[in-house]
Structure 1
């Protein structure tokens, strides 16, 4: 599978609303042109587009409208289904103006930031799982959430602090994308210098080591921007094979025995910043071998801006234009119940009780990763508000008290509930009925 990793697009109004006089557009256009050439060389379309935050510049709704139009152009050019676009928030996707004028937002951010190190995780959980506190904490993300909902990547309380989605690789292996939220404390006290002032928490880095699943984590801020950077490093180093970060506008690859870490250049970094160097990453991810011989083969192509002549070129790894690493995927022994011709096992099978399956919003979310279901989600959000309300009511997907929630959260819960209750086909039928109306 070929992944396109970009970050820091910084759609800025009013410039992004006037393409003819937008100085940043040329870099996006050149990037798309370069992508066409590189994809043709590689001989496969992009299987997923991973956008690592800072889609907007000041979290203004019109900036996200411009971004959606461009992302559709990007998906069409690369052959990537729009249903395979994934986004996470960056610090520019947080509305600092809301923080500045809303005491409840300042208070909940301060409660988390000022908690003792050994209590901060508990305080975050307490604040995020309380409806009133979580509403305040996420208020600066409102415009981002309204944009991210069409990709099923919005953030809401209490179960959606981050998102996860699965992509099928070869030999029965799934690549699990974990979109982490590093921006909960962004803009605290209006401070633009957030270094070491952010908090990710173990709530986002559990990354259960499921069999035949390879984890990829994508976050806007690298670990060293977070108070809990040592914990983050310890968790993701052993639990995720691919780490993708943005924010620094610096392309860099770290290759280890356990993981590959890739930093993204900005698609549109500030043209006045030192070391102005736009770029994007193409990452080939494949599984080779069988059984204990399986490995995750990663090949990263880093493309960055050059002048005279204007365009993109490969960032070299010594004298090579690519960065390569193979990481073993260990296979576990067969489950006891799968062993044949064993009288002991046969007895165990006879007395074994049927497992009880409990609803799990996170697991359901990963299971709803196929293109067809994600397409339904996109189409659902393109209906009118009243049509969405009618579908949720007809299928019994919402509790009465949830009707007061903001739409990205309200219907985010409803869509997950459709998956939990096996109502995805019914959801599709209801959407189709209203699209024809």
Structure 2
């Protein structure tokens, strides 16, 4: 079986005028197509389709999705295929705000949910609307055109199917479950009512995936968790159950790694031009392998960015491992499930205080590295300064880029245990 891979795009923002003779984004889309045609297969195998992280359209209009569908067919041709699988979720630009402005019933329902004081109440109100036999799909009216587009790929959503799930075979009796979440159920013309402030969205608890045997869970959602209401109630469950989380919306590429999960906030493929306009997209592959009798998931991500001269897409070296055109994240999936599901007394893992003495060096180093990345920039700098780990060539590079070199220096100096203790002290 080996690896399975996807092209990951977000925030394409097709307008009804896209594709005309004066469309300034035509060359950008062609750059994506050429990058896929000439570079994808050199680095990535077994491409299973395209992941669209929302904001496919600009105003949720039928013409915009027709143009988007044509572009996706062009991608399939660039991949050497007649067609390819598409997996998509809605973004706030896929909401037809004309409906939310003109339909009082839709707007009142959204405000009713938004007024809830806690997540349980929001879920209870949402359930009332979804079970209303007179109009169960009222809240899906604003994404009606999106749903017509998504239905072509079996990714449409409604009161009976608030999320979609797709399964893919991996090695070692493991499956990848791809879950499409809807973060736009209350999105409307009030989203940017306060200038510079995004209104928080609601992700109902019914969208949190359940635990399943032999499954690694990957989510596709438009709004990152910092844009969710009541996130303090669901953050822990999200991180425990969703191993790889793919988001969009912010138009900024950002990666966060912990022992529990990998989060990729994708840069926008076609955002509005401005001072910091740098279109991006990703190739992402997943592979399951055995190590010390545990199954591990390796996620290999190739971040792509438009070159300075706007001529082609190139590797985004600022978000790659040093010396590579990708970054790698590995997760011991069996260990994570045991940690989160077994009673503490039954769990085979020793208390945190003694783990540094009892687990093998390679595994321990990786875990310590993830803890190091979780610290603030100031905390990491303080630790590196105390242990004399700072090098001139690290200037301007992110912690994730220099992590492997820092860990190698720590082991070479024989100060791994002190490094570990300093991290734990900072965490406290």
In the superposition, the TM-score normalised over structure 2's length comes to 0.72
Cα distance in 1, alignment partners of residues 238 and 40 from structure 2: 30
Match of 1:101 in 2: 102
Matched, 1:329 2:330: no
Correspondences of 1:390-401 after superposition (within 5 Å): none
Return the offset for 1:290: 6.8
Match of 2:244 in 1: 242
Cα distance in 1, alignment partners of residues 282 and 215 from structure 2: 23
Matched, 1:203 2:209: no
Return the offset for 1:191: 4.1
Matched, 1:227 2:246: no
In 1, are the aligned partners of 2:95 and 2:143 still within 8 Å (CA)? yes
In 2, are the aligned partners of 1:100 and 1:189 still within 8 Å (CA)? no
In 1, are the aligned partners of 2:44 and 2:285 still within 8 Å (CA)? no
Match of 1:172 in 2: 173
Match of 2:10 in 1: 7
Cα distance in 2, alignment partners of residues 80 and 239 from structure 1: 34
Match of 2:147 in 1: 145
Cα distance in 2, alignment partners of residues 121 and 243 from structure 1: 22
Correspondences of 1:287-366 after superposition (within 5 Å): 287-289=288-290, 292-308=293-309, 310-316=311-317, 317=320, 319-320=322-323, 321-330=325-334
Cα distance in 1, alignment partners of residues 258 and 270 from structure 2: 29
In the superposition, the TM-score normalised over structure 1's length comes to 0.71
In 2, are the aligned partners of 1:47 and 1:80 still within 8 Å (CA)? no
Cα distance in 2, alignment partners of residues 22 and 287 from structure 1: 43
In 2, are the aligned partners of 1:46 and 1:80 still within 8 Å (CA)? no
Return the offset for 1:37: 2.6
Unaligned runs of 5+ in 1: 334-437
Q: 1:190 to 1:278 in 2, by over 3 A?
A: closer
Matched, 1:22 2:26: no
In 1, are the aligned partners of 2:224 and 2:247 still within 8 Å (CA)? yes
Return the offset for 1:287: 0.7
1:21 is paired with a residue of what secondary structure?
A: coil
2:137 is paired with a residue of what secondary structure?
A: helix
Match of 1:52 in 2: 53
1:289 is paired with a residue of what secondary structure?
A: strand
Cα distance in 2, alignment partners of residues 37 and 264 from structure 1: 22
Cα distance in 1, alignment partners of residues 9 and 233 from structure 2: 26
Match of 1:185 in 2: 186
In 2, are the aligned partners of 1:305 and 1:312 still within 8 Å (CA)? yes
Q: CA RMSD in A?
A: 2.1
Return the offset for 1:227: 0.7
1:203 is paired with a residue of what secondary structure?
A: helix
Match of 1:406 in 2: none
Return the offset for 1:181: 0.2
In 1, are the aligned partners of 2:251 and 2:267 still within 8 Å (CA)? yes
Residues 96-116 of structure 1 deviation map (CA, whole Å, 9 limit, x = unaligned): 011111100111101101122
Q: 1:270 to 1:43 in 2, by over 3 A?
A: closer
2:334 is paired with a residue of what secondary structure?
A: coil
Cα distance in 2, alignment partners of residues 134 and 277 from structure 1: 41
Cα distance in 2, alignment partners of residues 222 and 114 from structure 1: 21
Residues 317-355 of structure 1 deviation map (CA, whole Å, 9 limit, x = unaligned): 35233211111121899xxxxxxxxxxxxxxxxxxxxxx
2:152 is paired with a residue of what secondary structure?
A: helix
Return the offset for 1:48: 2.2
Return the offset for 1:66: 0.8
Cα distance in 2, alignment partners of residues 45 and 174 from structure 1: 15
1:280 is paired with a residue of what secondary structure?
A: strand
